[in-house]
Structure 1
């Protein structure tokens, strides 16, 4: 009976280890040269690590360890296969809003929902008769 229990525990541990190996985190880095907003939170310019967990692909983590800044955002996965690794920002005047993460092969490609703050910035820009939604692209490393 003890041998059977030991074998069962060994097999279970093997499955847990194999599952952890398959569920790899995906991470990219980018140098963002301007302040930007992610779901209502403004982040300073800096070097950011952007990633998600294979077990929670809709949760995007954006962090700048040097400045101690981090935010999590719920995203909408984009299954299309992007040809480039880029962050896409919507720009209204001097305000930037993270809109998309594009990765080669679509491993981490996603869209962020439009926040109330971005909708307000867009309306203000339109009201001032300025050009709306100049997309700004930042290369990922």
Structure 2
């Protein structure tokens, strides 16, 4: 009986996962020429596919299949639309932090939360420069 229950749960999880994968209809790609950080994890420069699930618009997936890199991040949706599609990175010293995704139709526009690592990098950059730091880098989405 335990085996039957385990198999039923496994099948149900597989169906739920397949349904979720099919619902992921918002995807964009970007070529990022520098290493960057998302939720405290540093990702290498590369060609990334970024998507969200229409059923869970707060959950973002970021992946570079060639480099075997993938992660998920919780975002704050921004339903306004942009003039064009782009990624927004905050830049402090030699560190880049993914901050926003802006899409022309607003389907994936969102903000990522500021990590402790980014707050430290910003504070350090401000102390070294003795000025307010606000250096955004924009990357076009395909």
Please give the TM-score of this superposition, normalised by the length of structure 1: 0.82
Shift of 1:70: 0.6
Q: How many residues align?
A: 122
Q: Alignment partner of 1:117: what SS?
A: helix
Q: CA RMSD in A?
A: 1.7
Which entry has the higher C-alpha Rg, 1 or 2?
Answer: 1
Shift of 1:133: 2.5
Distance 2:24 2:95 in 1: 34
CA offsets per residue over residues 90-111 of structure 1, 9 Å max, x none?
0001100000000111000000
Q: Alignment partner of 2:104: what SS?
A: coil
Task: Report what 1:137 is aligned to.
Answer: 138
Shift of 1:45: 0.1
Runs of 4+ in 1 over 3 A off after TM superposition: none
Task: Report what 2:126 is aligned to.
Answer: 126
Provide structure 1 residue ranges, at least 5 long, that are not aligned to the other structure: 1-18
Provide structure 2 residue ranges, at least 5 long, that are not aligned to the other structure: 1-18
Please give the TM-score of this superposition, normalised by the length of structure 2: 0.81
Distance 1:53 1:127 in 2: 40
Distance 2:31 2:73 in 1: 19
Task: Report what 1:33 is aligned to.
Answer: 33
